[in-house]
Amino acid sequence: MARLKSVGSRLGTMSPRLGAAPRNEAERSRQRDATHPSRGWYKLARWERIRQKFLKRYKWECQKTGVLLIGKRHAPNSPILDHIIPHRGDPGLFWDEDNLQLVSKAYHDSTKQSMERRGLV
Protein backbone atom coordinates (compact mmCIF):
# COMPACT_ATOMS: atom_id res chain seq x y z
CA MET A 1 0.00 0.00 0.00
CA ALA A 2 2.83 2.42 0.75
CA ARG A 3 4.15 1.84 -2.72
CA LEU A 4 0.93 3.07 -4.32
CA LYS A 5 0.97 6.21 -2.21
CA SER A 6 4.40 7.12 -3.52
CA VAL A 7 3.29 6.67 -7.12
CA GLY A 8 0.21 8.79 -6.46
CA SER A 9 2.28 11.59 -5.00
CA ARG A 10 4.53 11.65 -8.08
CA LEU A 11 1.56 11.80 -10.42
CA GLY A 12 0.26 14.85 -8.62
CA THR A 13 3.43 16.78 -9.39
CA MET A 14 3.35 16.14 -13.14
CA SER A 15 2.37 19.08 -15.28
CA PRO A 16 -0.49 18.59 -17.74
CA ARG A 17 0.75 17.84 -21.25
CA LEU A 18 -2.15 19.44 -23.07
CA GLY A 19 -2.46 22.59 -21.01
CA ALA A 20 -5.60 24.15 -19.66
CA ALA A 21 -8.66 24.33 -21.86
CA PRO A 22 -9.72 27.86 -22.82
CA ARG A 23 -12.54 29.21 -20.68
CA ASN A 24 -14.17 31.31 -23.41
CA GLU A 25 -13.92 32.23 -27.08
CA ALA A 26 -11.64 35.23 -26.44
CA GLU A 27 -9.14 33.05 -24.57
CA ARG A 28 -9.33 30.39 -27.30
CA SER A 29 -8.60 33.05 -29.91
CA ARG A 30 -5.58 34.34 -27.92
CA GLN A 31 -4.18 30.81 -27.66
CA ARG A 32 -4.60 30.28 -31.41
CA ASP A 33 -2.92 33.64 -32.14
CA ALA A 34 0.05 32.58 -30.00
CA THR A 35 0.46 29.19 -31.71
CA HIS A 36 -0.31 30.31 -35.30
CA PRO A 37 1.54 33.57 -36.08
CA SER A 38 -0.08 33.77 -39.54
CA ARG A 39 -3.40 34.60 -37.83
CA GLY A 40 -1.96 38.08 -37.28
CA TRP A 41 -2.03 38.67 -41.04
CA TYR A 42 -5.82 38.95 -40.85
CA LYS A 43 -5.41 42.04 -38.64
CA LEU A 44 -3.21 43.95 -41.10
CA ALA A 45 -4.42 46.91 -43.15
CA ARG A 46 -3.23 45.09 -46.28
CA TRP A 47 -5.73 42.27 -45.62
CA GLU A 48 -8.55 44.74 -44.99
CA ARG A 49 -7.81 46.50 -48.32
CA ILE A 50 -7.99 43.17 -50.18
CA ARG A 51 -11.20 42.26 -48.33
CA GLN A 52 -12.85 45.56 -49.27
CA LYS A 53 -11.72 45.11 -52.88
CA PHE A 54 -13.44 41.69 -53.04
CA LEU A 55 -16.61 43.00 -51.39
CA LYS A 56 -16.87 45.72 -54.04
CA ARG A 57 -15.87 43.45 -56.94
CA TYR A 58 -18.52 40.84 -56.11
CA LYS A 59 -21.12 43.37 -54.91
CA TRP A 60 -21.41 41.77 -51.45
CA GLU A 61 -22.61 38.48 -52.95
CA CYS A 62 -21.42 34.96 -52.05
CA GLN A 63 -19.54 33.49 -54.99
CA LYS A 64 -20.81 29.99 -54.17
CA THR A 65 -24.43 30.47 -53.13
CA GLY A 66 -25.45 33.91 -54.40
CA VAL A 67 -26.55 35.00 -50.90
CA LEU A 68 -26.34 38.73 -50.22
CA LEU A 69 -23.61 39.21 -47.58
CA ILE A 70 -25.16 41.84 -45.32
CA GLY A 71 -24.99 40.11 -41.93
CA LYS A 72 -23.01 41.29 -38.94
CA ARG A 73 -19.85 39.48 -37.79
CA HIS A 74 -21.20 36.05 -36.74
CA ALA A 75 -24.41 35.97 -38.79
CA PRO A 76 -24.80 33.18 -41.39
CA ASN A 77 -24.95 35.79 -44.17
CA SER A 78 -21.86 37.71 -43.05
CA PRO A 79 -18.97 37.93 -45.57
CA ILE A 80 -15.89 35.70 -45.31
CA LEU A 81 -12.89 36.15 -47.58
CA ASP A 82 -11.85 32.52 -47.85
CA HIS A 83 -8.67 30.87 -49.11
CA ILE A 84 -9.59 28.36 -51.81
CA ILE A 85 -6.47 26.33 -51.04
CA PRO A 86 -5.74 26.55 -47.29
CA HIS A 87 -2.58 28.61 -46.76
CA ARG A 88 -1.35 26.75 -43.62
CA GLY A 89 0.99 29.65 -42.83
CA ASP A 90 2.43 29.99 -46.36
CA PRO A 91 2.58 33.75 -47.10
CA GLY A 92 2.56 33.13 -50.86
CA LEU A 93 -0.78 31.31 -50.67
CA PHE A 94 -2.15 33.70 -48.06
CA TRP A 95 -1.62 36.88 -50.12
CA ASP A 96 -2.39 35.35 -53.56
CA GLU A 97 -5.62 37.05 -54.65
CA ASP A 98 -6.27 34.25 -57.16
CA ASN A 99 -6.54 31.95 -54.13
CA LEU A 100 -9.37 33.97 -52.53
CA GLN A 101 -13.13 33.77 -52.79
CA LEU A 102 -15.91 35.75 -51.14
CA VAL A 103 -18.38 33.42 -49.40
CA SER A 104 -21.02 33.51 -46.68
CA LYS A 105 -20.15 32.42 -43.16
CA ALA A 106 -22.78 29.68 -43.47
CA TYR A 107 -21.08 28.25 -46.60
CA HIS A 108 -17.60 28.65 -45.11
CA ASP A 109 -18.44 27.00 -41.79
CA SER A 110 -20.33 24.06 -43.27
CA THR A 111 -19.59 23.11 -46.87
CA LYS A 112 -16.04 24.49 -47.14
CA GLN A 113 -14.89 23.18 -43.75
CA SER A 114 -16.37 19.76 -44.55
CA MET A 115 -14.44 19.69 -47.83
CA GLU A 116 -11.21 20.61 -46.02
CA ARG A 117 -11.70 17.89 -43.39
CA ARG A 118 -12.23 15.30 -46.13
CA GLY A 119 -9.11 16.48 -47.99
CA LEU A 120 -11.04 17.68 -51.03
CA VAL A 121 -9.35 21.08 -51.02
**Model confidence, pTM:** 0.74
Report the C-alpha gap between 106 and 121 in whole angstroms. Answer: 18
How does DSSP assign 97-118, residue by residue?
GGGEEEEEHHHIIIIIHHHHHT
Average pLDDT rounded to a whole number, residues 14-35: 77
Q: Mean pLDDT lowest for which of 2-11, 24-33, 43-52, 57-66?
A: 2-11
pLDDT band at 29 (very low <50, low <70, confident <90, very high): confident
Q: What are phi and psi of 103, to 5 degrees?
A: -135, 165
Question: Which residue did the predictor score with more confidence, 67 or 120?
Answer: 67
Position with higher pLDDT, 16 vs 116: 116
Average pLDDT, integer, range 7-22: 62
